[in-house]
Homo-oligomer: A and B are copies of this chain.
């Protein structure tokens, strides 16, 4: 047999649908848009696009997130492939990726261009096709990942306060965390650097800024230890 072996096989459109997450007002937000074309025109949808012949699926996802946010150094991970029959008019198999972005870097002119907006994860409307399922699976995956890898920092600016970091994890796990226990744990890993500057925007006392130091994290791993929240 030769390449002709493939000839009688079916071919499919492949979409990438991206769960683009940002952190705003102490909550995870997801970028969604009104779908501009049929089918399901006008329905709320994740940001998506089609895979092109000469790009990998990972590259396609990176491209799509770049198109819709203007950001291109992005932490992404695949959620999985979704391929039920009734997903679309034409058969489309979709591969979902979540992306963690610093919402401050978001190019807001693109929100206008694509009729997109950031919506709190707790207040998402019903999304088209299986997009709601994709979000559900993403949150699941994110909860497992964020517990053992320092990926949460991708959602924050370089400098952040511990109260902010804590509320990020509270939003990811959707449950309250004890302030003392949280600080004890994150600081004991010695992967953060305390800065002299304070953020005074949310209290009179002000909260000190910290930075995540990747080198210190790498050291931790080299010692056979693990990140864990």
Taking Cβ atoms with an 8 Å cutoff, the residues of A that contact B are 1-3, 5-6, 9-14, 36-39, 41, 50-58, 78, 80-85, 89-93, 95, 144
Contacts and interface: CB of A to CB of B under 8 A. Distances in A.
A57 B13 contact: no
7 contacts: A1-B36, A5-B37, A10-B14, A10-B52, A12-B51, A55-B85, A78-B81
A122 B113 CA distance: 53
A83 B54 contact: no
B9 A13 contact: yes
A92 B80 CA distance: 17
Given A12-B12, A14-B83, A14-B93, 16 more contacts: A1-B38, A1-B41, A2-B38, A3-B90, A5-B37, A5-B38, A6-B90, A9-B52, A10-B51, A10-B53, A11-B12, A11-B14, A12-B14, A51-B83, A56-B85, A58-B84
Contacts of A55: 85
Contacts of A50: 6, 9-10
Contacts of A84: 56, 58
Would you list the 5 A-B pairs with minimal beta carbon distance, nearest first?
Answer: A57-B83, A1-B37, A11-B11, A10-B53, A81-B81
B81 A57 contact: yes
A141 to B, nearest CB: 11
For this chain, the copies found in one complex come to: 2
Nearest to A144: B144
A174 B139 CA distance: 29
A22 to B, nearest CB: 24
A28 B52 CA distance: 38
A91 B53 contact: yes
A41 B6 CA distance: 14
A15 B53 CA distance: 16
A91 B50 CA distance: 15
Nearest to A37: B1
A38 B218 CA distance: 43
Nearest to A94: B81
Contacts of A83: 14, 51, 56-58, 95
Contact of A38 (B3, B39, B90): B3
A102 to B, nearest CB: 26
